[in-house]
Structure 1
């Protein structure tokens, strides 16, 4: 049996339809993750992040993060020692939102907080620290790799 031009057009159209069904199926199975569910609200409040970053950059030092054994140690700049500090920590993993961790910032009198990282999965994280001291808000973010 030879294929005439009518058969070729039918085969091409059928292949195109099958290709489209495969693409629709794959697109429906794709897992997409947003950084945050309230991205519009967060975008409107982003000026606070900019102001907090500028204030944190004017301090004598930055937030220092070290890893020792199964602990993640966060040390705030020296100006924060002895102050009443409140805030939060967000360990953001861009590759998998199930690895994200949000913690309350609870530093000691020296401005240091120790976090048990034993239960955290190894990954590259963006550590976002937001804190408030003396009615001023501060913000710092840095990349860390938990091992």
Structure 2
């Protein structure tokens, strides 16, 4: 068999298609970790989120985070804790949403704890969301667990 330009084109196309098929199979098997499960729905509510952020800005320093041997502790300032009707604290892991941890806030409680053995070392974003008089407030703060 003689190797001519037609054979070369055929071999090139065959190798290109085989390589493309291998890449497609590889890409389909990779896990997809979006920032949130409902990523697109959160994008639609962008204007509402901007209003919540503007309303929440005065409260960015109204809570402190600390780590002790048993837990990751968030202390809420008393003047804010007395205004909270209901709320939620979430330790959100940007690299893997399956490692997110939620904790409900009881009205009037000024301390929230996350057990240290439930956390893994690395970066989290603390999302503090609460309602006061029917209005939603939200403050985000990055934290590093070590």
2:120 corresponding residue in structure 1 = 121
Instruction: Give secondary structure in 1 for the equivalent of 2:26.
Output: helix
Q: Distance in 2 between matches of 1:59 and 1:28?
A: 43
2:90 corresponding residue in structure 1 = 90
Across the aligned residues of Structure 1 and Structure 2, the Cα RMSD in angstroms comes to: 2.5
Q: Alignment length, in residue pairs? A: 146
Q: Distance in 1 between matches of 2:81 and 2:94?
A: 32
Moved more, 9-18 or 30-39: 30-39
Cα gap change, 1:89 to 1:47, in 2 (>3 Å): farther
Structure 1 segments, 4+ long, off by >4 Å, are none
Moved more, 66-75 or 30-39: 30-39
1:138 corresponding residue in structure 2 = 137
Residues 128, 139 of structure 1: 8 Å contact kept: yes
In the TM superposition, 1:1-147 aligns within 5 A as 3-59=3-59, 61-106=61-106, 109=109, 111-147=110-146
Structure 2: 5+ residue stretches without partners: none
Q: Distance in 2 between matches of 1:120 and 1:103?
A: 13
TM-score, normalised to structure 1, is 0.81
User: Deviations for 1:70-122, whole angstroms, at most 9, x for unmatched residues?
Assistant: 3111122442143444111121111112211122123754x222222222222
